[in-house]
């Protein structure tokens, strides 16, 4: 596992990829593309065995009058076994996605958090899902908001901060530790 490697999500048309740097950002090269239907904005997380997983949304682009009907409205998943140089074909998961961005974070206690709009058609809900098995399942879910908007960020201490309700000037700040979504091997503690 190359701990010096940096990966930066990129977004060419109709495919997704990452920019790779092995020299702390002095130079960059593209990964091979993540192939799949209308993918956008990969969120990458590393499993304990070193495999990188990219979670992606779909993006509607001009496919004619019925462009939205051609989307699967699911989060897609791709794997890399070579530090992000190449990626498997992206496959749909069971998780809904309304053509929006998402974020997956690996917490220091080994749980993963997925922050996404959990709807096939609307962005009016923002949800937190928790996995204690490296994304194989998302056993716990909590709705953070049911009105439009939402931004999120992981703090260096391993906690997750979620900024809700745009515009940012009128936002409220919600600070949750990892236990806010679920407990490893137990029930969620909301």
Token representation of residue 99: 């053509």
pLDDT for 91: 93
- CB-CB contact of 180 with 158 (8 Å): no
Task: Tell me how far apart the alpha carbons of residues 143 and 180 are, in angstroms, rounded to a whole number.
Answer: 12
- CB-CB contact of 154 with 137 (8 Å): no
pLDDT tens, residue by residue, 81-135: 999 999 999 999 999 988 888 889 898 899 999 988 888 887 777 888 999 999 9
- CB-CB contact of 182 with 137 (8 Å): no
Per-domain residue ranges of the chain:
1-101, 102-190
2 pLDDT above the threshold of 90: no
Of the candidates 139, 137, 110, the one whose C-alpha atom is nearest the C-alpha of residue 48 is 110
Average pLDDT, the chain: 74
Upper half-sphere CA count for residue 104 (Cβ side, 13 Å): 27
Task: Tell me how far apart the alpha carbons of residues 140 and 151 are, in angstroms, rounded to a whole number.
Answer: 20
Residue whose token pair is 């702390």: 24
What strand order describes the sheet that includes 172-176?
151-154, 160-164, 172-176
pLDDT for 131: 95
pLDDT tens, residue by residue, 58-82: 876 555 555 556 678 899 999 999 9
Q: How confident is the model at residue 48 (pLDDT cuts 50, 70, 90)?
A: very high
Task: Tell me how far apart the alpha carbons of residues 12 and 23 are, in angstroms, rounded to a whole number.
Answer: 23
């Amino acid at each position: 596992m190359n701990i010096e490697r940096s990966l930066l999500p990129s977004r060419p048309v109709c495919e997704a990829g990452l920019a790779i740097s092995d020299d702390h950002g002095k130079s960059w090269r593209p990964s091979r593309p993540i192939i799949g239907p209308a993918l956008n904005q990969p969120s990458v997380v590393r499993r304990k065995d070193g495999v990188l997983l990219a979670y992606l949304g779909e993006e509607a682009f001009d496919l004619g009058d019925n462009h939205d009907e051609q989307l699967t409205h699911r989060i897609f998943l791709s794997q890399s076994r070579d530090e992000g140089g190449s990626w498997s074909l992206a496959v749909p998961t069971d998780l809904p996605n309304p053509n929006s961005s998402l974020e997956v974070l690996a917490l220091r206690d080994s749980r993963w958090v997925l922050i996404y709009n959990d709807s096939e058609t609307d962005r009016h809900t923002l949800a937190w899902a928790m996995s204690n098995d490296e994304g194989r399942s998302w056993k716990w879910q909590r709705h953070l908001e049911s009105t439009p908007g939402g931004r999120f960020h992981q703090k260096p201490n391993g906690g997750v901060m979620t900024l809700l309700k745009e515009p940012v000037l009128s936002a409220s700040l919600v600070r949750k530790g990892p236990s806010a979504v679920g407990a490893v091997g137990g029930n969620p503690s909301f």
